[in-house]
Amino acid sequence: MNGHVPAVVQGIYDEVVQRNRGETEFHQAVREVLESLAVVLDRHSEYTEMKTVQRICEPERQIIFRVPWQDDRGEVHINRGFRVEFNSALGPYKGGLRFHPSVNLGIVKFLGFEQIFKNALTGMPIGGGKGGSDFDPKGRSDAEVMRFCQSFMTELYRHLGEYTDVPAGDIGVGAREIGYLFGQYKRITNRYESGVLTGKGLGWGGAQVRTEATGYGAAFFADAMMKVRGESFDGRRVTVSGSGNVAVYAIEKVHQLGGRAVACSDSTGYVVDEKGIDLEVLKQVKEVERARIGAYAERVPSSSFVEGGSIWDTPCDVAIPSATQNELDGDAASVLGRNGCRYVVEGANMPATPEAVRVFRDAGIAFAPGKAANAGGVATSALEMQQNASRDSWTFEHSEARLEEIMRGIHARCHATAEEYGSPGDLVLGANVAGFLDVAEAVHAHGLI
């Protein structure tokens, strides 16, 4: 571990590495949280005695299963499915499903671990979990995606339930996939259990603003960070990596708040549009046609496409990395700093490497960790569960107002906690400590389980 940490915290980290060998992203996520917790353990000896941190670092249950399916040509494929039910101290396990070829147990565990604290920060009654598969939906027909989702759910359904475990979307899992997953769950269980999945279509139990929530939420969070410094989005240049669910709606809200998003990306490269990203074109290319980002530049004359390369070379005032983990390293962070970037707000989960976070700290760049800044998605999922439970359906305006209130509340809590624990302005410490305290108190109250 880096920096000065007491032996007890170092010991916990060493044990996690030892018993979860090779799961580097999980180690990284645990280390980041542990580095913040020394100040908490100093004040709460009961958490050391009862090994509360060690218990939170060990998932309650890990499920790994085979997912066989047939493509349109009749060829058989075998993928691997995962669901890590990490912690249920605050409520049923809650967290998305990711379909991407890079998915493995270590990635699912890093995401599930982060989710515990993120969910706590929302103030909603939800525990932490995450799942997914190494299935690659890219280039697959709707029928293939449907067959995969049906096979995946045929195993997973027995572990789910509105009071047990409630998945949602993540990379590669959007409204289409949630629809197929819900259909198969309903068919197998013979239950119309709306609260078992979130991110559902609006016509069948979904909630207004769930699609927009993570991106909108990250922009609201950034706005709150600026307000504390007497600043705003007005006229600011913003770079948003990715062009999926989080990125598209982060851009939309940045524009509504007066900023100008000038660049976005996918895994093939990035586009720069000095006039500001045209959302209508972006949505058509990415959401409707599921095409590559280069197609945007072919249609918008004011833009250019850079194949490969680093989107972080684009000068900006605010960066919102919204693609994937470890996409912004120390070198990219230095470039951002040299180009005058003042705020970095994680739309994705853990997109900034530890080196990048150190660069931001040293350069005085305000930084928001994903577990706080992208909590709007899961918070709105919890609102979806609330509406499902009461068979109610709120308006867009009401739902968005609730989201904004929750995001500004999370920011205020992280900010205040950082101050209370002697690190003013350190939202990483504020988020980790505030989230941990909620979870630890409940874990402690439930006895040794």
One-letter amino acid at 1 equals M
- Segment near ligand NDP (CB under 6 A); pick from 38-46, 47-55, 243-251, 438-446: 243-251
For ligand NDP, give the closer residue by CB, 51 or 290: 290
* Per-residue tokens: 421: 């624990």
**Considering only residues 252-271, where is the footprint of ligand NDP by CB under 6 A?**
266-268
Question: How far does the chain reach from its first CA to its final CA, in angstroms?
Answer: 29
Find the shortest distance in angstroms from Cβ 294 to ligand NDP: 11
* Residue 169 touching ligand NDP (CB under 6 A): yes
For ligand NDP, give the closer residue by CB, 239 or 245: 245
Q: Which positions are catalytic?
A: 130
**194, 208, 349, 417: which one binds ligand NDP (CB under 6 A):** 349
91: left (phi over 0), alpha (psi -120 to 50) or beta: left
* Residue 319 touching ligand NDP (CB under 6 A): no
- Segment near ligand NDP (CB under 6 A); pick from 12-20, 242-250, 254-262, 294-302: 242-250
Q: What is the DSSP letter of 421?
A: T
> Is 235 strand, coil or helix?
coil
| Angle made by CA atoms 388, 182, 74, in degrees to the nearest 5 | 170
Q: How far, in Å, are 72, 129, 195 from residue 154 at the CA level?
A: 20, 19, 18
Q: What is the DSSP letter of 352?
A: B
* Per-residue tokens: 269: 């490269």
Neighbours of 156 (CB within 10 A): 24
User: Which positions ≥6 away from 291 have C-beta within 8 Å?
Assistant: 285
* Residue 112 touching ligand NDP (CB under 6 A): no
Rg (the chain; Cα; Å): 21
H or E stretch at 264: strand 260-266
Find the shortest distance in angstroms from Cβ 347 to ligand NDP: 6
Tell me whether residue 203 is exposed, middle or buried, using C-beta atoms within 10 angstroms of its C-beta: 0 to 12, 13 to 18, 19 or more.
exposed
For ligand NDP, give the closer residue by CB, 98 or 236: 98
* Residue 170 touching ligand NDP (CB under 6 A): yes
Q: Indicate the Cα dihedral angle 264, 270, 273, 276, nearest 10°.
A: 0
* Residue 273 touching ligand NDP (CB under 6 A): no
> Is 168 strand, coil or helix?
strand
* Residue 242 touching ligand NDP (CB under 6 A): yes
- Segment near ligand NDP (CB under 6 A); pick from 139-147, 239-247, 337-345, 385-393: 239-247
Q: What is the spatial distance between Cα 449 and Cα 429, in angstroms, rounded to a whole number?
A: 27
Per the CB < 8 A criterion, the answer to whether 307 and 268 are in contact is yes
For ligand NDP, give the closer residue by CB, 5 or 171: 171
* Residue 302 touching ligand NDP (CB under 6 A): no
Neighbours of 262 (CB within 10 A): 21
* Residue 377 touching ligand NDP (CB under 6 A): yes
- Segment near ligand NDP (CB under 6 A); pick from 33-41, 121-129, 245-253, 398-406: 245-253
* Residue 246 touching ligand NDP (CB under 6 A): yes
* Residue 127 touching ligand NDP (CB under 6 A): no
Find the shortest distance in angstroms from Cβ 249 to ligand NDP: 9
- For residue 115, the number of C-alpha atoms closer than 13 Å in the C-beta half-sphere is 35
**Considering only residues 57-96, where is the footprint of ligand NDP by CB under 6 A?**
none
For ligand NDP, give the closer residue by CB, 245 or 387: 245
**198, 245, 399, 432: which one binds ligand NDP (CB under 6 A):** 245
* Per-residue tokens: 197: 């999945």
**Considering only residues 13-42, where is the footprint of ligand NDP by CB under 6 A?**
none
* Per-residue tokens: 265: 């990306």
Find the shortest distance in angstroms from Cβ 255 to ligand NDP: 17
Find the shortest distance in angstroms from Cβ 282 to ligand NDP: 10
* Residue 133 touching ligand NDP (CB under 6 A): no
For ligand NDP, give the closer residue by CB, 38 or 295: 295
Locate the DSSP E strands across 321-388.
343-345, 366-368
For ligand NDP, give the closer residue by CB, 382 or 443: 382
* Residue 214 touching ligand NDP (CB under 6 A): yes
In the complex, which residues of this chain contact ligand NDP (CB under 6 A)? 169-172, 214, 242-247, 266-268, 322-324, 327, 347-349, 374, 377
